[in-house]
Amino acid sequence: MRLNQARVIVTGASSGIGRAIALEFAGRGALLALAARTQTALDELAGAIQTNGGRAVVIPTDVTQDGAVDQMAKETIRQLGGIDILVNNAGVGLHAPIGDASADDVERLFRLNVLAASAAIRAVIPTMRAQRAGMIINISSMAGRIVIPRIGYYSASKFALTAIGDALRMEEGPRGIRVMNVFPGTTRSAFGDNRLGIRGPAAHQRVPPVTAEKVARRVARAVERNQTSVYISFVPDRLALAANSVAGWAVRRVLAGWARSAQG
């Protein structure tokens, strides 16, 4: 998959990882369809891309609304002529113990992180099948590989998105459609500020964050190398995953200690 002249939808493009991916992809020649709820932020981003010689169109979209992602896909085809890549980035966190989270917060979390992402996939798949080519990029999380206490519902939503991506890869691979799951660790962005549930830092935020720009660079390189699973850093991401595989009991003991300390 080449990014140069690729027609790319980025959901949640107004800030954080989504914004960084849009800028990185545009710098490599991609044509961007920028989707998020906040038009002013999208207009600013599109202006920055165009100032640097790129092309971007703004498609204000609340991906949780019925029919919104179908309209997003149609508008992308109308303005860019097709869809080569979908970056499923829109998402929200939830910091709360399993037994204490509000039902409304849990529903909002799964509606955005799982159901809306799935709807976006269904909206673009017919076009990619007709082209016999395309790529779905799901921005999951290290919490989608290792269960972390006090963000257990968030972990569950990212485990679900990862499973959807893995199944989709097997189903659509013969039609030329590739699927990439991306597993960022703690990232320096406004994501935590917008998180549902308890205010303040979560247990996993003891780990030093990486920048959204580093995530974007890794994703861009992975697209061109046709990778299926993308980790951002060896330490702590890959190291933590390896430790969880060979000594899960030790990792769980550390995480349980974090949970106890968070309870005071």
* Environment class of 188 (CB within 10 Å of its CB; exposed 0-12, middle 13-18, buried 19+): middle
Q: 5-41 burial, b if ≥16 CB within 10 A, otherwise e? A: ebbbbbbbbbbbbbbbbbbbbbbbebbbbbbbbeeeb
The H-or-E segment that residue 111 falls in is none
CA dist., res. 46 & res. 10, Å (int)? 12
Helix (H, G, I), strand (E, B) or coil at 183: strand
Catalytic: 231?
A: no
CA dist., res. 87 & res. 22, Å (int)? 9
CA dist., res. 165 & res. 169, Å (int)? 6
Residue owning tokens 């080449």? 2
Output DSSP code: residue 78: H
The H-or-E segment that residue 94 falls in is strand 94-95
Kindly name the residue from 153, 154, 159, 231 that is annotated as catalytic. 154
Catalytic site positions: 154
